[in-house]
Structure 1
Amino acid sequence: MIFIAASLCLQIVCAVHVIRSGRNQIWLLFIMLFSLLGCFAYVMLEVLPQHWNNRHVRTARAQVVGKVDPERAVRDAERAIDLADTAANHIALGDAQAARHRYAEAEAAYRKGLALGPGNDWGTQVKLAGVLFELGESAQALALLEAAPELSRGSEWDRRTLLKARILADLGRSADARLLFEDVVERIAGEEARCHYAAFLLQQGDSRRARSILEEVERRASRMDRTQRAAQADMYRWAGEQLAELRRA
């Protein structure tokens, strides 16, 4: 009985704090539904100072906020546009919509940002190429990428090359795509590039090379902590399922 009373009091205190501090009131639902767990999440992720320089706290906060309030970034970007109709704010909205896999909305936002900007914003042009690819407009996406000026080799060059490889694969230019995948897959941090390459190889019927790539993903994932893997849980789940199928075969 004492525990139940204490839990109820804590929920009330947290709910009052949400209202008085002007925080997103979806926290009220979270607090009431999940009791102590909801209160703990609210205190850790909203009340405690946000400037803690702890990677795990920042990552956990981003993950929970993303689940509790997935539209937050979109709302923030739309609010910024209401205050100032600038190219930067429209591009930020495009980023937020792309993160939510709303590629048509992201395309519109990026095009508005490019129209308002001074021109030659190749970084945003590449982002636009990415969402056009996701919308199935691979020919347009490739044209944008190829119009962008050459970069010296580095992380941005690698990201563009990975996108170009995926576009070429979608356009049926498999030999060109494979050359680019092989060139870039070992240099990009994280496992996204390897998983895209493995998916391409499976489509091409090269199960042996796909298995080799996925086994490397598995080895690398085993050296990560839970927080690192959770950020791309769906990707690692897909890789594990594909590797299991290849091993059974």
Structure 2
Amino acid sequence: MIFIVASLCLQIVCAVHVIRSGRNQIWLLFIFLFSLLGCFAYLVLEVLPQHWNNRHLRTARAQVAVKVDPERAVRDAERSLDLAETAANYIALGDAQAGRHRYAEAEAAYRKALSLGPGNDWGTQVKLAAVLFERGESAEALRLLDAAPELPRGSEWDRRALLRARILADLGRSAEARALFEDLVERIAGEEARCHYAAFLLQQSDTYRAQAVLEEVERRARRMDRTQRAAQAEMYRWADERLAELRKA
């Protein structure tokens, strides 16, 4: 009896959705004629495709894919290289290895791409600088960044500037790093720059400013939905933990 009632309720919900959304009303026949099977077909063929390209849904799918098969991007890049050893395929392999935090392998792939390319591939050179920084080779990373041509202000300039600020901090050029961080946190969308700045401030023992920055991260995070936060869950967890420690001190 409960199953029949639940089935009827689902049919009514689907039928109302068909009418309100203006879909082909032939679906009403399928829904009421085939019961649950008709509802399932309607949801799969009509409702889900409409939302399949939703940004939040794409993010969720990507997160699930990484958890289920974290090596897929690496395997795909390696298969592409088996077919053709091109600069683009080596860059894809470098991106996949960097995503798995295998910076030595990523460095090798990016260097190979640069050797195969026509030259002046500044985008790949910046990626190489990023993995060199992660490997602790900050001086070489800064040299590569300095060799890249100056860009107009925009998202790519901001991305490079954030990397530069982190490198400068690692090299002990604290005043330069702080000035660059202060500029970036006012302009870059998202909280990555603020979290890196807070980490730098904590290293400098400037707990007052670090707490203010982390509280801003907390305020902004409250406006996000769960999917948006999940995309950088580890970063937000770190921020929450550091802020809790500062508030206890």
- TM-score by length of structure 1 reads 0.79
Map 1:1-249 → 2, pairs under 5 A: 52-249=52-249
What do residues 80-118 of structure 1 show as CA deviations (whole Å, max 9, x unaligned)? 011111000000100000011000000000000000000
Amino acid at match of 2:78: E
What do residues 43-68 of structure 1 show as CA deviations (whole Å, max 9, x unaligned)? x9xxx879922223211211111000
Q: Which whole-Å CA distance do the structure 1 matches of 2:183 and 2:147 have between them?
A: 21
Change (3 A) 1:141 1:50: farther
Partner-residue secondary structure (3-state), 1:172: coil
Q: Which whole-Å CA distance do the structure 2 matches of 1:87 and 1:142 have between them?
A: 23
Identity percentage over the alignment?
84
Partner-residue secondary structure (3-state), 1:73: helix
CA contact (8 A) 2:142 2:164 kept: yes
What do residues 123-144 of structure 1 show as CA deviations (whole Å, max 9, x unaligned)? 0000000000000000000000
Q: Which whole-Å CA distance do the structure 1 matches of 2:51 and 2:224 have between them?
A: 25
Q: Name 2:3's counterpart in structure 1.
A: none
What do residues 3-39 of structure 1 show as CA deviations (whole Å, max 9, x unaligned)? xxxxxxxxxxxxxxxxxxxxxxxxxxxxxxxxxxxxx
Amino acid at match of 1:115: S
Amino acid at match of 2:63: Q
With 162-171 and 185-194 compared, the bigger mean Cα shift is at: 185-194
Q: Name 1:38's counterpart in structure 2.
A: none
Partner-residue secondary structure (3-state), 2:119: coil
- TM-score by length of structure 2 reads 0.79
Q: Which whole-Å CA distance do the structure 2 matches of 1:148 and 1:237 have between them?
A: 34
After TM superposition, give the deviation of residue 208 of structure 1 in Å: 0.7
Change (3 A) 1:74 1:152: same
Amino acid at match of 1:180: L
Q: How many residues align?
A: 203
Q: Which whole-Å CA distance do the structure 2 matches of 1:148 and 1:56 have between them?
A: 34
Change (3 A) 1:51 1:144: farther
Partner-residue secondary structure (3-state), 1:118: coil
Q: Which whole-Å CA distance do the structure 2 matches of 1:103 and 1:223 have between them?
A: 34
Q: Which whole-Å CA distance do the structure 2 matches of 1:125 and 1:139 have between them?
A: 14
**Gapped runs of 5+ residues in structure 1?**
1-43
Higher relative contact order (CA 8 A, sep 6+): 2
**Gapped runs of 5+ residues in structure 2?**
1-43
Q: Which whole-Å CA distance do the structure 1 matches of 2:49 and 2:140 have between them?
A: 45
